[in-house]
Amino acid sequence: MDLAGVDVLAFDVFGTVVDWHSSVAAEVTELGLPVDGSRFALAWRARYAPTLRRVAAGELGWAPLDELHRIMLEECLDEFGVHELDEEQKRHLTGAWHRLRPWPDSVEGLTRLKRRYVISTLSNGNIGLLTRMAKHAGLPWDCILSAENFQRYKPDPATYLGVGRVFGVEPSRVLMVAAHHDDLEGARSHGLLTAYVERPLEFGPDGKDVSPEPATTLHVRDLRDLADRLGC
């Protein structure tokens, strides 16, 4: 498919640009929780999609992801039998999602892509979270777009279509970049082009299936590869 008309690259962030698993696992270990850091990080993340579905269904009212992360954290602490954390420790641990480390290729790849395209987040993370993450990780976004801008979480159409509306372009001039097939499917169903990024270590050393998505516009190894493919 011709990519000559693309103006904007919209990026999923968690797992695509930053390594949430090893970052959160390390913070759990550093805090001295009597649990396996990797297992705790996976359990916390496993609550993500179900919690967002509860918001979409109206079971939970709209709330920024920071607040939902805190709800999920309390559930995980109960699951693992951890009851000794005080309020400040819980607040600090919830903030681990602000301090996620970028994948080794992310900063270079984004910097190269930024020379030619507008690069923006399109993440379920709230604006404060994504801004602090960018400062911490050195992510050179032109713009931070969040579910918070639209008061809807992906895969609601308002999120994908909102990118074009913000930048004044048709959806076909936006390339959605993500490591998750369901995110790309949602974007594509609303007219965006899509690029699938392999992140085999997203869920830790046991690996993740990075099989190609046949319908995607591009399939790349990482963000350096994406920059190469787009001539940046």
Q: Which two tokens stand for residue 75?
A: 């559930």
Residue 110: how many CB atoms within 10 A of its CB? 27
**Model pTM score:** 0.96
Whether 8-19+100-229 and 20-98 share one fold: the answer is: no
pLDDT by position in tens, the chain (length 232): 578 899 999 999 999 999 999 999 999 999 999 999 999 999 999 999 999 999 999 999 999 999 999 999 999 999 999 999 999 999 999 999 999 999 999 999 999 999 999 999 999 999 999 999 999 999 999 999 999 999 999 999 999 999 999 999 999 999 999 999 999 999 999 999 999 999 999 999 987 788 877 787 899 999 999 999 999 9
- Name the strand (E) or helix (H) holding 18: strand 18-19
Look at residue 1 in the predicted model and tell me its pLDDT. Answer: 56
Residue 117: how many CB atoms within 10 A of its CB? 18
Q: Are 136 and 106 in contact (CB under 8 A)?
A: no
Domain spans of the chain?
8-19+100-229, 20-98
Residue 228: how many CB atoms within 10 A of its CB? 14
Look at residue 225 in the predicted model and tell me its pLDDT. Answer: 98
Superfamily of domain 8-19+100-229: HAD superfamily/HAD-like (3.40.50.1000)
Spatial CA neighbour of 19 closest among 41, 48, 46, 47: 41
Do strands 118-123 and 174-178 pair parallel, antiparallel, or not at all (unpaired)? unpaired
CATH number for domain 20-98, candidates 1.10.150.240, 3.30.1330.30, 3.20.20.70, 3.40.50.2000 = 1.10.150.240
Q: Which residues contact 226 (CB under 8 A, 6 or more apart)?
A: 109, 113, 177, 195, 197, 218, 220
Look at residue 212 in the predicted model and tell me its pLDDT. Answer: 75
